[in-house]
Amino acid sequence: MGALHEGHLSLARSQNDKVVASIFVNPAQFAPHEDLSKYPRTVERDIEMLGKEGVDAVFLPSVEEMYPAGIVLDVKDQQGTFVEVKGKSHQMEGQIRPHFFRGVATIVTKLFNITLPTRAYFGQKDAQQCAVIRSMVRDLWMPLSIIVAPTIRESDGLAMSSRNVYLSPSEREAAPILYKALSEGVNLFQSGERRRSELISAVEEVVKGEERVQLEYLSLADPFLLGEVDVVQDGVGAIFSGAVKVGKTRIIDNVLLGIGREQWVE
């Protein structure tokens, strides 16, 4: 989506013979009321950063090239071909942004078809997106591997995101509260708690202690199927995720409970 930060650049540092980066602010990922027109666009800076990281090529398609039939933000008026992953797209983030993953799956399919990668890199911060794309690749027999890289964080724990530039100094100070709260959930889990009600309650309490933040949702879900769970099963684990609004900026984050990254990313 552009507006690169260290989190994106870490994905480009790989052991591949050739590395291609794509930058495209995808209109199909935005609802009519969202921030498409204001989304950070820093193409020249992004290309310079990618060059310093040794990226071999940068793919910068136009909206007209990616959506020959045109694209409008209202889904009911859209024309052309779209990809949708049923079962993993309408919970968690999908409850707040019901057509978001339709846009993600469609544009990622197009990018894969054009660039023909052997490996594609995504960040754990967008855990649901990773799960959706992995399912799409498996279901459609796309000949590539999806690699999930760890979330890159600022020194205070805030996950790096292009939208962090929207935060005022006061909002930036409050923004790490979601990760702090989810980390409290990790501590509670490690002390033996497995019940959804107790884990959610503990995280909610931390978030609600920060008056500058509005909680949108918390999710405790099966790490592979993404269905909500009442109890975290040993040997299965869960993704504990959530979203908050800080001013006009949405912050999303997640942690894994009872399952290592190396198990989840396979």
Q: How far apart are CA 233 and CA 201, in angstroms?
A: 18
90 is catalytic: no
Q: Which of 5, 8, 90, 99 is catalytic?
A: 8
> What amino acid occupies position 94?
G
- Active-site positions read 8
